[in-house]
């Protein structure tokens, strides 16, 4: 099938904004990965997104396989119609990620031509009220809906008044081959190769360094952890606000340079191998990709008790959830895992197995394809089954 995927921003042309924050959003990453998965399954995919900078091409073959069309400013609505009537007149289905305003014109075109539309939301903040505007009424008229978390599904029903029979819970998924399980023995080897003591536990934060990702909470936690584990390291991996990165370096200086501020990297797996516990104190999330990656690699997690996290992290099974800004609760749970090799190994195995069975492309992509191509007969909930640590050997 010929599928048009609509997303607000894609390959905008600049890697970082002026503050140092990476420009590529989680939604853009999902769009790229889903497009590639649909192509792998035999479909042709066009991505339509905003054109933000003059120097980017209007149309190009992106990454060797994706037909990328960038839409111009105030005439995006007209350009969508013109494309769909000419260069993309053979479109069979539409897949929208997030709520780009211009995508309503694709929905309207789909209604006029009887083509299926699937809307996927990756965060609760994206949910709409179907009674507020013409645009939101169109968003509420799609054929299928994908919620990446149960919190989003509940908002679809409560706030947007979508028929539950149209909503499937399908995580956006990751390529688990890129984030293989790391055993305790392999972590010890990696530490030795990096010149670290193999038995001393280390902490990892791997996300955008931004206020809403909880970096200041993580730094406050580390100050207390360092007092009891002065030889441990805290890896901060991810690009972000330069002021916050400088604050992390300042706190590191107070803690004998025990915080390693890595910054943005293309491959996070070396830091998965050097770490023993993952801390994720974000204030709000969809289904966090960085958490899925850490779980896949076998890291036990201490995270905030929020939507998205509560679909993945279960107390005493895959980690611990604590109140969003409760520094002492984080310290308690991180310390518990630092002190118990057997517990964090069992949690890590359980986490990795859960991601493999419920969130890997091997299981997610086919369900996403069935939904987007309008073949689904009834909704699916891929996160309904909860992990059980007793099942892990």
State CA 11 to chain mean position distance. Answer: 17
Instruction: Tell me what pLDDT residue 17 has.
Output: 62
> 2-173+361-372 domain in CATH 3.40.50.2000?
yes
Rounded to two decimals, what is the model's pTM?
0.92
Distance CA(14)–CA(29), nearest Å, equals 15
Q: How confident is the model at residue 282 (pLDDT cuts 50, 70, 90)?
A: very high
pLDDT tens per residue across span 252-269: 999 999 999 999 999 999
Listed ranges 61-75, 131-145, 179-193; the one with the highest mean pLDDT: 179-193
CB 145 within 8 A of CB 119: yes
Structure tokens belonging to residue 199 = 């038995």
Mind listing the pLDDT tens digit for each residue in 47-60?
999 988 888 899 99
Pairing mode, if any, of strands 59-62 and 144-147? unpaired
Q: How confident is the model at residue 54, as a pLDDT?
A: 84
Name the segment(s) of the chain with CATH classification 3.40.50.2000: 2-173+361-372, 176-358
- For residue 356, count other CB atoms closer than 10 A to its CB: 15
The answer, yes or no, to whether residue 25 has pLDDT greater than 80, is: no
pLDDT at 388: 85
Which of left, alpha, beta for 174 (phi over 0: left; psi -120 to 50: alpha)?
beta
pLDDT of residue 391: 53
Closest CA to 319 of 268, 374, 387, 235: 387
203-259: pLDDT as tens digits: 999 999 999 999 999 999 999 999 999 999 999 999 999 999 999 999 999 999 999
CATH 2.60.40.10 fits 176-358, yes or no: no
Measuring CA to CA, which residue among 58, 116, 119, 46 is closest to residue 84? Answer: 46
- pLDDT at position 66, please? 96
Q: Which pLDDT tens digit goes with each residue over 133-183?
A: 888 899 999 999 999 999 999 999 999 999 999 999 999 999 999 999 999
Predicted pLDDT at 346: 96
Residue with tokens 């990454």: 63
- Report which of 304, 334, 302, 342 is spatially closest to residue 319, judged by C-alpha positions: 302
Q: What is the pLDDT of residue 18?
A: 62
With 0-12 / 13-18 / 19 or more C-beta atoms within 10 angstroms meaning exposed / middle / buried, residue 114 is exposed
Residues 345, 347: Cα–Cα separation, whole Å: 5
């Amino acid at each position: 099938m010929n599928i048009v995927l609509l997303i607000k921003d894609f390959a905008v042309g600049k890697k970082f904004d002026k503050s140092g924050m990476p420009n590529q959003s989680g939604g853009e990453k999902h769009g790229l990965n889903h497009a590639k998965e649909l192509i792998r399954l035999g479909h042709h995919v066009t991505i339509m997104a905003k054109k933000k900078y003059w120097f980017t091409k209007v149309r190009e073959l992106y990454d060797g396989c994706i037909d990328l069309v960038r839409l111009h400013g105030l005439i995006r609505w007209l350009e969508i119609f013109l494309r769909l009537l000419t260069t993309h007149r053979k479109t069979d289905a539409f897949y929208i990620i997030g709520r780009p305003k211009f995508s309503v014109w694709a929905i309207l075109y789909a209604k006029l031509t009887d083509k299926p539309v699937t809307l996927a939301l990756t965060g609760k903040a994206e949910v709409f009220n179907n009674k507020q505007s013409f645009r939101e009424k169109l968003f509420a008229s799609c054929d299928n809906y994908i919620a990446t978390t149960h919190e989003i599904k509940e908002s679809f029903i409560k706030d947007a008044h979508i028929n539950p029979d149209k909503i499937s819970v399908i995580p956006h998924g990751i390529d688990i081959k890129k984030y293989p399980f790391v055993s305790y023995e392999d972590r010890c080897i990696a530490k030795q190769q990096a010149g670290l003591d193999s038995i001393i536990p280390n902490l990892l934060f791997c996300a955008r360094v931004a206020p809403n990702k909880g970096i200041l909470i993580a730094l406050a936690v580390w100050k207390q952890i360092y007092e009891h584990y002065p030889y441990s390291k805290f890896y901060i991996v991810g690009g972000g606000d330069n002021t916050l990165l400088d604050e992390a370096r300042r706190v590191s200086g107070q803690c004998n340079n025990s915080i390693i501020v890595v910054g943005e990297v293309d491959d996070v797996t070396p830091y998965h191998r050097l770490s023993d516990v993952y801390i994720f104190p974000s204030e709000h999330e969809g289904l966090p990709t960085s958490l899925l990656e850490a779980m896949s690699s076998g890291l036990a997690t201490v995270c905030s008790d929020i939507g998205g996290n509560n679909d993945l992290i279960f107390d005493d099974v895959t980690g611990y959830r604590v109140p969003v800004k409760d520094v002492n609760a984080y310290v308690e749970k991180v310390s518990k895992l630092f002190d118990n090799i057997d517990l964090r190994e069992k949690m890590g195995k359980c986490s990795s197995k859960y991601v493999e069975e419920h969130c890997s492309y091997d299981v997610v992509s086919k369900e996403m394809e069935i939904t987007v191509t309008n073949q689904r007969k009834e909704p699916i909930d891929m996160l309904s089954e909860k992990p059980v640590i007793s099942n892990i050997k």
